[in-house]
Structure 1
């Protein structure tokens, strides 16, 4: 038996205390990921069956709001939660999110007789589960060493892809019984509460003022901008511009704003976060595009299309999980270029395969999703690497906002031509593969998607030297 006196909490050095906090925080990563997966699974399940849900409550014409409104909420809370992680207790934030998640789940299961009730409770669920996702990313950025960060960023995108795959299948299965049971899926998060309570950091390590007015102004500006791209109602764009201008004046004059003008003067960060915007611009619209192709060209149901997409999402799960190892062998710059090239190849090959059959299209979408999952980890690490550690939460929030905002803008732009075949009249698709009508429309859209990815790759290669200019070793690049 040792005779050494035990060290009291008061006698611990700051380094010892920080190491203990970091060790406990790492124990929460898998439970947090579990909650995020449950929320994403529920989100994707409802995305698959929202038309059936709308028809059942007598609001088929407005059924898309079941997806659109929670999407707007998700974009806002991604930023707010991520930013609050720099100022607030991670434990309190996570538990607050869980309470929202459980409330939305139970109330949605009991009260779902109208479209408004479904939208409100789905929005509450979405706001709830994203807290776990934001806290997960901040813990990875703040408490893990460089080599481990890439692994856990990869696990995050792999979990998203896996939850999407399960959600697509479960949405079809559960809706055949009663779609209201989908609301209850996130209640399984109760299982991980004891681990979270025991290990989540309770403070950020510093006392800080929470800038409530700043958050409200910025969230209002983002809300108006997102709704504009969802509905193209021009007064919303004007209102968003005015609100952003008010926000700029506010952070320039406020005594202790949550984000300062200096944050936006970081050109390395601007260039890096633009990558997220470009890479994920087509994220929300690629699945509806494939669904439309399956229905219009091959007479497939949404359930059948989901089975075509399933192998691609499983491949994306493997790609995301392996992305850390790939970066370790190839470096961030090469891995990002490879992932973006696979996305480009997937859309370009799909453009030439519109009439080749569902199997050919399944292979093409696998390239796209596999590339997207591969580049997530090194791109997030690149974005956060342009910021100091004390701004990691705001970096995560802005990064998530760029991803969600890009997807929302993309679906707003491409949603109409997907639904109306408004790009079917050009000669490009006809000259390439002999496609006409709806097939020509989809071919032209896929060629546009490929062109966007070519631009993203060029942007990255041109700006990568300045993005990695400071504090990055050659092996890390």
Structure 2
């Protein structure tokens, strides 16, 4: 109790930066960092053709970036608890740009392209990880919900337009020009040098072994989800066990074991994993469902999904404002409720008009943007200043891994024929059965997540974190 109360006091003592000046540049930087997650997706057939490689071989263009992006999210978070945020953000932008330049210059050799994507991921991961820390550390509690909402909207927009931008650049110029896009982030360096406060190096040292164990453990999980061989998972679990043993003995561990004893942080991470895993599973299964059951082509499926993606852009900001006015718990429960209603509705509409499904998807996107915004804000309020870096890094890592887990799990459930156990009487096609059952299961997982959230984030817990503006 004492620990969380003191966290709010510590945050209040930090210098508060100018929101109006900072937010536009933060949005600019986040957009170009997240854009690179999806901008190469539509170009993979062209890349495979150019280098004469298999689909598995070309998948490394995406997988390599994802691995280094996921690893970096938690490592940069930990580094920000020791080193200057300003210097780390500038370093991340520079690394991101160097990787982009290498990819463009060395485009004739495929291994060099993969190496460039690794460097890109290592640099780009600094941006969302450190921006979350900037918001948690230097924005006033009354502004955080709004800013987290803007970040959610920006991320949603970047992910949605990434394939569109990628397709336009690839068809108009060449896919290698996609490496040029991240160079725009360089123009933000003078601003961050000016707006972010100077910070001295804090006490502590970098636990290199701990960082390496986290990095290879996360990499093992991501590789296993992309290429499901048992030895990748076994290696990842073994490294994770080694990491847990190591941080209990190390003098200055990469992640303090006490952080995992923070009940509210632990609860937020679990709820985040369940919800993000579910939503990413939904985003993976809906296009498959529309293609298989409704026999739609790619462009039509894109039109079905686009209105929902734009709703996420708009309602992310609205969710942030609601969180500031009504509290994070209020927004989380509204979001979870919208998700349940949407999933049940879609489960009964599978096989019917795809435009009904497009309408039913709107609450999915809105609900997810609400939960994502409010949960990030809620987690930030459970951390002391000295914990914000690694704490928000863990939150980023959980959301990242949960997306990969959700996608892989859905694929296995559908491929294994395990979702054909019940026929919904509202369905008009046998092909719709597995998708309908899967959506009902997703709704049940969201309900369980809400019950768990209610148990963890009680009124008593809310009082401990002082999540109102009065803090």
Does residue 453 in structure 1 map to residue 446 in structure 2?
A: yes
Measured after TM superposition, the shift of residue 29 of structure 1 is: 4.1
Tell me which residue corresponds to 2:40.
46
Per the alignment, in what secondary structure is the counterpart of residue 63 of structure 2? helix
Contact 2:280 2:403 in 1 (8 A): yes
Measured after TM superposition, the shift of residue 337 of structure 1 is: 0.7
Tell me which residue corresponds to 2:224.
228
Distance (Å, rounded) in 2 between the aligned partners of 1:311 and 1:52 = 28
Distance (Å, rounded) in 2 between the aligned partners of 1:93 and 1:304 = 42
Distance (Å, rounded) in 2 between the aligned partners of 1:353 and 1:113 = 48
Per the alignment, in what secondary structure is the counterpart of residue 255 of structure 1? coil
Tell me which residue corresponds to 1:312.
308
Tell me which residue corresponds to 1:462.
455
Deviations 1:310-357 (A, max 9, x none): 211111011111112212343221210111121222222222222122
Per the alignment, in what secondary structure is the counterpart of residue 280 of structure 1? helix
Measured after TM superposition, the shift of residue 164 of structure 1 is: 1.8
Stretches of structure 1 that go unaligned for 5 or more consecutive residues are 1-14
> Of 132, 144, 150, which aligns to 2:145?
150
Per the alignment, in what secondary structure is the counterpart of residue 125 of structure 2? helix
Tell me which residue corresponds to 2:396.
400
The answer to which structure, 1 or 2, has the higher relative contact order (CA under 8 A, 6+ apart) is: 2
Measured after TM superposition, the shift of residue 402 of structure 1 is: 0.9
Contact 1:214 1:247 in 2 (8 A): yes
Distance (Å, rounded) in 2 between the aligned partners of 1:204 and 1:232 = 44
Change (3 A) 1:56 1:283: farther
> Of 53, 72, 89, which aligns to 1:59?
53
Q: What aligned pairs does 1:189-204 form with structure 2 within 5 A after superposition? A: 189-203=185-199
Distance (Å, rounded) in 2 between the aligned partners of 1:137 and 1:344 = 28
Measured after TM superposition, the shift of residue 401 of structure 1 is: 0.9
Tell me which residue corresponds to 1:293.
289
Contact 1:154 1:322 in 2 (8 A): yes
> Of 164, 168, 176, which aligns to 1:169?
164
Contact 1:39 1:126 in 2 (8 A): no
Change (3 A) 1:72 1:348: farther
Contact 1:33 1:136 in 2 (8 A): no
Does residue 137 in structure 1 map to residue 132 in structure 2?
A: yes
Distance (Å, rounded) in 1 between the aligned partners of 2:299 and 2:50 = 18
Measured after TM superposition, the shift of residue 424 of structure 1 is: 5.9
Measured after TM superposition, the shift of residue 404 of structure 1 is: 0.7
Per the alignment, in what secondary structure is the counterpart of residue 40 of structure 2? helix
Per the alignment, in what secondary structure is the counterpart of residue 465 of structure 2? coil
Tell me which residue corresponds to 1:326.
322
Tell me which residue corresponds to 1:434.
428
Tell me which residue corresponds to 1:251.
247
Q: What aligned pairs does 1:73-152 form with structure 2 within 5 A after superposition? A: 73-113=68-108, 116-152=111-147
Contact 2:92 2:125 in 1 (8 A): yes
Distance (Å, rounded) in 1 between the aligned partners of 2:199 and 2:467 = 32
Distance (Å, rounded) in 1 between the aligned partners of 2:85 and 2:122 = 16
Contact 2:142 2:469 in 1 (8 A): no
User: Which of 111-120 and 211-220 deviates more?
Assistant: 111-120
RMSD, matched Cα: 2.7
Measured after TM superposition, the shift of residue 27 of structure 1 is: 4.2
Measured after TM superposition, the shift of residue 390 of structure 1 is: 1.3
Distance (Å, rounded) in 2 between the aligned partners of 1:455 and 1:22 = 37
Contact 2:148 2:376 in 1 (8 A): yes
Structure 2-normalised TM-score? 0.89
Distance (Å, rounded) in 2 between the aligned partners of 1:391 and 1:38 = 27
Structure 1-normalised TM-score? 0.88
Distance (Å, rounded) in 1 between the aligned partners of 2:215 and 2:20 = 30
Distance (Å, rounded) in 2 between the aligned partners of 1:404 and 1:337 = 22
Per the alignment, in what secondary structure is the counterpart of residue 433 of structure 1? coil
Measured after TM superposition, the shift of residue 421 of structure 1 is: 7.5
Distance (Å, rounded) in 1 between the aligned partners of 2:364 and 2:341 = 7
Does residue 365 in structure 1 map to residue 322 in structure 2?
A: no
Per the alignment, in what secondary structure is the counterpart of residue 150 of structure 1? helix
Distance (Å, rounded) in 1 between the aligned partners of 2:437 and 2:303 = 25
Change (3 A) 1:114 1:286: farther
Alignment size in residue pairs: 457
Measured after TM superposition, the shift of residue 476 of structure 1 is: 8.8
Tell me which residue corresponds to 2:384.
388
